[in-house]
Structure 1
Amino acid sequence: SDIELLDEAERRQVLIEWNATERPSPQATLPELFEAQAARAPNAAALFCDGETLDYAELNRRANQLAHWLIGQGVGPEQRVALALPRRAELLVAVLGVLKSGAAYLPLDPAYPAERLAHMLADARPACLLGLGDGIEALPDSGVACWRLDDAALRQTLAAQPQSDPTPAQRRLRPEHPAYVIYTSGSSGQPKGVVISQRSAADFVDWALASFGAETFADVLATTSLSFDVSVFELLTPLLSGGRVRLLRDLLELGERPISGGSLISAVPSVFAQLLQHGAVSLEAKTVVFAGEALPPELVAAVRQRWPECRVANIYGPTETTVYAIGGWLEAGERAPTIGRPLGNTQTY
């Protein structure tokens, strides 16, 4: 017990040199960053889903109208708005609308067990819940005010709201305020809500753009459920950098029909391996990001054989660290995938 296992040079390397990751953080909030991008390129395509394309101006306008209505309902910073929406354009409008109101969004999957949903609603105490008819009806009764975005009267009300960005005085939003709450499975058997601030989420997106390059997010295939934090990487990173989101049902949709385009796709290794094994993936992948599981070297080899020019990244992180904590690019010829290095402004040991 008296012996130091690390000499001074090794200790400095492990504690300091490998963790020299400090980088400037953006001081703006997520809605401010999105609004700036919408102002720079209003006519650029922002979202493609089920044959519908929204440009930045239209997506921003619809999100603004929802935000103004939410603010009128008393919703704002330090409050949560639950979302129970299918993977349609309304989903992204709702996410941005809630962020623009100053509140944090709370994803709910109607397919979850009723007991889990009831716990999440009781624990998070959202100010209200937004959904569509079928999704809301599948949720347990919680006493939370529910609003159907497909209700004719509400659609008419939203259409009458201002189309302009909410002012700072209306939004009252600071970087320290929560941006979203995602429930993990919980280490003690009870789901736990992880609250991520505007500052942390904006810092993560800024790191992703600096590490991958904005061009990587020009045409992102978004396949991850909003209930998992990788959706932040797939949705917000392209929308804050002028890219386009192709909103798909899930990763398995890649094997069901031809998918054109796509500059980036993120995937769980086991599911992507199954798709490749059955030869069902038709897209021309440029960047593949693996996360969520250990990455087998056989899968990396299969990806490189299928797409020789494809860039492959291996990234890991719990929800509490804002999506990812550690990762890196895999070099051609590597024997086994490495876990990489700590992300910007992150320390790992």
Structure 2
Amino acid sequence: MFDRRARLTPDAEALRFRGAATTYGELSRAANTLARELVRRGVGPERIVGLQLPRGPEMIIAMLAVVRAGGAFLPIDAAYPPDRIAFMRADAAPVLIVTEDRDEHEDQDGTGAVVSLHALRAAASDLPDGDLSDADRLAPLDPAHPAYVIYTSGSTGRPKGVVVTHTGLYDLTTAQATAFGVGTASRVLQFASPSFDAAVSEICMALLTGATLVLAPQSDLAPGPALSALITRERVTHATLPPAVLPLQELPDSALPAGLSLIVAGEFCPSDTIRRWAPGRTMINAYGPTESTVCATMTAPLRAGDLSHIGTAISGTRLHIAGDDLAPVPPGGMGEMFIAGAGLARGYLNRPALTAQRFLPDPWGPPGSRMYRTGDLAHWCPDGTVGYDGRADDQIKIRGFRVEPAEIEAVLRERPDITEARVLLIQGRLAAYLVPGPDGHADTRAAAAHLAARLPAHMVPGAYTVIDDLPLTPSGKVDKERLPAPVFTASAGTPRTPQEEILCRLFADVLGLPRVGAEDNFFELGGDSLMATRLSVRIRSELGIDIPVVAIIEAQTPAQVSRLLGADRHDSALGPVLTLRATGTAPPLFCVHPAGGISWCYTGLLPHVGRQHPVYGLQAPGVSGPCDPPVSIAGLAADYLRRIREIQPAGPYHLLGWSMGGVIAYEIAAALRAGGEEVGSLTLLDAYPQIPPELRHDDEAALLLDLLHFINVPDLEPGPGAVDRATVIDVARSHGSAIASLGDGTVDRLIEVFTGNYRLLRDYRPAPLDTDMLLFTATRGRLAEFASADQWRPHTSGEISHHLVDCEHRDMARTGPMSTIGPVLAAHLKSARQSHPSARQPHPSARQPHPSARQPHPGRNQ
């Protein structure tokens, strides 16, 4: 089928990668010369070739070359643990293993020759590039010969290789071209991992129909803005995505374009997903195990309001739904689904007993035909389509990958301190239950590390619960109702900087945990590659930094991710300027510290402030080290304005401050306007030109309580003893606050700054100002005569947009009040951007891209 396309349209685009095109003629000739070299090295029918190559044209060329030589390709994901790769190599016994960058040599474990693709292509440079015939191969090639081998999770405790022949590929491609409307003008996205058989579907959909296959590095395929940008940039017309990816495409800059043909596959597709994504697109749900050449059923184009189902059998495929006695069930009755037809795989590599268990004689088909026992429960709908009802066994799907809990359990039982194990899917995550050995102790961290060394990340549980015995039902099965609820917890490491604190919160949000420590491992807590993608999107949304998913996978902990972002320097967290978000195309938002001197409290603004704006915190100079105390608010404002101009030389300037920070922001705005410069916005959070009586503190215990609130630590009411500095550290540590990492000397300086700032406020008299003001006032515990809007009106001729917030003064930076403040502030900044044309251009402070994970960032303060 590919040869025919290459002959018909040799100049048509076959592949797109990073803006470059490869034509069908070029692809065919490259695959032909490589295939001839593979034949020379012993590749032919019934021979397997391992391909441990990255995404890109080279992988496609190698796949085609293996098939043209008559062999079967085995995709090997280099990200898999070394033990798993070693098992696949030993089990498959490939005649050759092709890698990206290794010189040719014989593997020490005897699993076959390992050779770099570069060396193979160099050796093939003098070979003919014409199509191969059976005369050029080691033996004639038959459609019943293997085309590829895909390893899936195995219920016996080890993965199993599914041997798929050529016979089902014609029906698969024909069904796709018809149902999806694929033609020579189509551009098909290659999204799936090469180790997932959906990649075969995507490749066939494009290259066997004359369409263009769009390839991209993994970083460009990250669900969210990166994926949307790729689809738009490359004008993709067809994309196959797991339903779990779609929620990551719901942000405005992540939306998939209208008119896209969207195929959902790999896991159950809820009706709500259909309702949200079918309008304006051709949306089709496809189903099929690896054992039936990728796809067995497809739906007609779905419409909003359709109930979830998996459609009807594709051409060349037969479906049976039967009970335990293999008797067909009537329409509406639930039974197990069996698949028969041309697409059926040969069976499991080197596993004849397992093949006989799952591939059975087909009593309803032609003599000698077989059917595959899927283990999926289903029913016939009144319209002849098939409804999916779950599993008849313990097999589960995680992000499109098939997982047998028994395989994880078998690996756990290899440890001497574990006598029995059960793994369950709970709330979308894997949880392990362990029965310890004779000494009654099971090391859960060692068990997690053992699994991580043997299994892919998506198969490593996020919770480990030690129990005395597995509770059983009367029939001898594990009684899941009597198992204790798993605790997906985290506690390792207190964050040391505000950025680490933000990352800990984002990790916890994505994982659905109450808290994550700075040294907690994302994958040990139940994360997987898709959740890492979601984390990448959240980091970009809040911190304005693009960090590749692969960098998160490598870093694994908030502390390590912070180091990749260059945000792990404790000294910069206390420096005069705290970088909360370094990138953005609009002018920055400068947030001035409250009386405590540090601006860590403003991390709560990041989810709300549009990521067009970089966000910086201005901090008191006395926090990081000894310095001369300031003599006035105006003097502080002049000092802070110098820092602002180092980052942003010209306006419009956006200023914000809480409490004393609002007073200083007001004075900075007055100084700017006195110099004829432009103030884009001025936002005050419960700030007063005079200190209300209830905010005047003279004792250290009261100051310490305020300090905890100014760093957004939950309430601490004084107990029998006075609150002291040690109490502050203990409370901060118990709530995962970065202030817990401060030493005694730093806390002493914070107290000195706090006390000195209150003295400055008592002597403060506002300068006149002609700028509009966005003002938020806390309503609880407020004296009527200290309504903040009335206090400011005598000093400004600008308009005051006043908003009330249902909280106390000290609580303005908490999550609840910020959810009120944030949207109003975001709308205000958006209006300011539209009012100032200069704000729509990339801002000088953000013109250079953040180094992200490429190199440590020294911080602006150095």
TM-score normalised by the shorter chain: which range applies?
0.7 to 0.9
Cα separation, 2, equivalents of 1:347 and 1:54:
38
Look up the match of 1:99: 67
Shift in Å, 1:331: 3.3
Secondary structure in 1 aligned to 2:183?
helix
The 5-angstrom pairing of residues 111-260 of structure 1 reads 111-133=79-101, 142-151=110-119, 154-171=120-137, 172-215=140-183, 218-250=186-218, 251-252=221-222, 255-256=225-226, 258-259=229-230, 260=233
Matched, 1:275 2:249: yes
Structure 2 gap segments, 5+ residues each: 322-862
- Judge conservation of contact 2:10–2:23 (CA < 8 Å) in 1: yes
Structure 1 stretches of 4+ moved >6 Å: 134-137
Counterpart in 1 of 2:6?
A: 38
Q: CA deviation at 1:75?
A: 1.0
Alignment of 1:287 onto 2:261: yes
- CA distance in structure 1 between the partners assigned to 2:224 and 2:118 by the alignment: 28
Matched, 1:326 2:300: no
How far residue 50 of structure 1 moved from its aligned partner, in angstroms, is: 1.9
Of 39-48 and 333-342, deviating more is 333-342
Whole-angstrom CA distance in 1 between matches of 2:12 and 2:36: 24
Structure 1 stretch displaced more, 203-212 or 48-57: 203-212
Aligned mates of 1:242, 1:266 — CA distance in 2: 18
Q: Is the 8 A contact 1:98 1:104 kept in 2?
A: yes
8 Å Cα contact 2:48/2:71 also seen in 1:
yes
How far apart, CA to CA, are the structure 1 residues paired with 2:116 and 2:281? 42
- Contact 2:240–2:263 under 8 Å retained in 1: yes
- Residues 140, 268 of structure 1: alpha-carbon distance in 2 compared, 3 angstrom cutoff: farther
Return the letter of the residue paired with 2:262. Answer: V
What code does the residue aligned with 2:125 have? Answer: A
Gapped regions of structure 1 (runs ≥ 5): 1-32
Distance 1:246 1:318, change over 3 A: same
| TM-score of the superposed pair, with normalisation by structure 1 | 0.83
Please tell me the residue identity of whatever aligns with 2:246: F
The equivalent of 1:21 in structure 2 is none
Map Cα deviations across residues 81-114 of structure 1 (whole Å, 9 max, x no partner).
Answer: 0000001110100000001000000000111111
Distance 1:136-1:219 versus aligned 2 partners, 3 A rule: farther
Distance 1:234 1:216 in 2: 15
Cα distance in 2 for partners of 1:331, 1:342 equals 16
Deviations 1:259-310 (A, max 9, x none): 2211100001112222225752454552101011111222222223xxx431
| Alpha-carbon distance between aligned partners in 2 of 1:143 and 1:185, rounded to the nearest angstrom | 21
Q: Output aligned runs, 1:334-345, within 5 Å.
A: 334-345=305-316
Rg comparison, structure with higher value = 2
Q: 1:224/1:57 Cα in 2 relative to 1: closer, same or farther (>3 Å)?
A: same
Tell me how far 1:142 sits from its aligned partner: 5.0
The answer as to 2:284 corresponding to 1:310 is no
What's the TM-score once normalised by structure 2's chain length? 0.35
Distance in 2 separating the partners of 1:124 and 1:143: 8
2:259 and 2:281 in contact (8 A); partners too:
yes
Contact 2:150 2:197 survives alignment (8 Å): yes
1:317 and 1:279 mapped to 2: Cα distance?
Answer: 32
Q: 1:34 to 1:150 in 2, by over 3 A?
A: same
Query: 1:321: how far off?
Result: 0.9
Conservation of the 8 A alpha-carbon contact between 1:316 and 1:327: yes
Paired residue for 2:458? none
What's the CA shift string for 1:30-76, capped at 9, x where partnerless? xxx11111000000000001222100000000000100101111210
CA contact (8 A) 1:252 1:275 kept: no
Distance 1:272 1:320 in 2: 26
How far does residue 131 in structure 1 lie from its aligned partner after superposition? 1.4
Residues of 2 paired with 1:329 and 1:203: CA distance?
Answer: 17
**Is the alpha carbon distance of 1:296 and 1:220 closer, same or farther for their aligned partners in structure 2, counting shifts above 3 Å?**
same
| CA contact 2:193–2:199 (8 Å) conserved in 1 | yes
Per-residue deviation, residues 134-169 of structure 1 (Å, max 9, x unmatched):
7999x9955420111134xx4332221111011222
Matching residue within 256, 265, 269 for 2:239: 265
Q: Is the 8 A contact 1:289 1:314 kept in 2?
A: yes
Distance change >3 Å, CA 253–CA 277, structure 1 → 2: closer
CA distance 1:195–1:291, change in 2 (3 Å): same
Map of 1:90 onto structure 2? 58
Q: Give the 3-state SS of the residue equivalent to 2:239 in structure 1.
A: strand
Distance across 2 between alignment mates of 1:226 and 1:41: 26
> For the residues of structure 2 that align with 1:249 and 1:103, how far apart are their CA atoms?
27
In the alignment, the residues of structure 2 paired with residue 40 and residue 325 of structure 1 have an alpha-carbon distance, to the nearest angstrom, of: 30
SS at match of 1:150: helix
Contact 2:243-2:268 within 8 A present in 1 as well: yes
Seen in structure 2, the aligned counterparts of structure 1 residues 335 and 328 have a Cα distance that, compared at 3 Å, is closer
CA distance in 2, matches of 1:312, 1:282: 12
| Contact 1:254/1:282, CA 8 A, preserved across alignment | no
Q: Secondary structure at the match of 2:49?
A: strand
Matches of 1:343 and 1:208, distance apart in 2: 9
Which letter does structure 2 place at the counterpart of 1:67? Answer: A
Worse overlay, 337-346 or 42-51: 337-346
Using the TM superposition, give the Cα deviation of residue 342 of structure 1 relative to its aligned residue in structure 2, in angstroms: 1.6
Give the distance between the partners of 2:185 and 2:141, measured in 1 at CA: 27
Quick one: percent identity of the two aligned structures?
Answer: 35
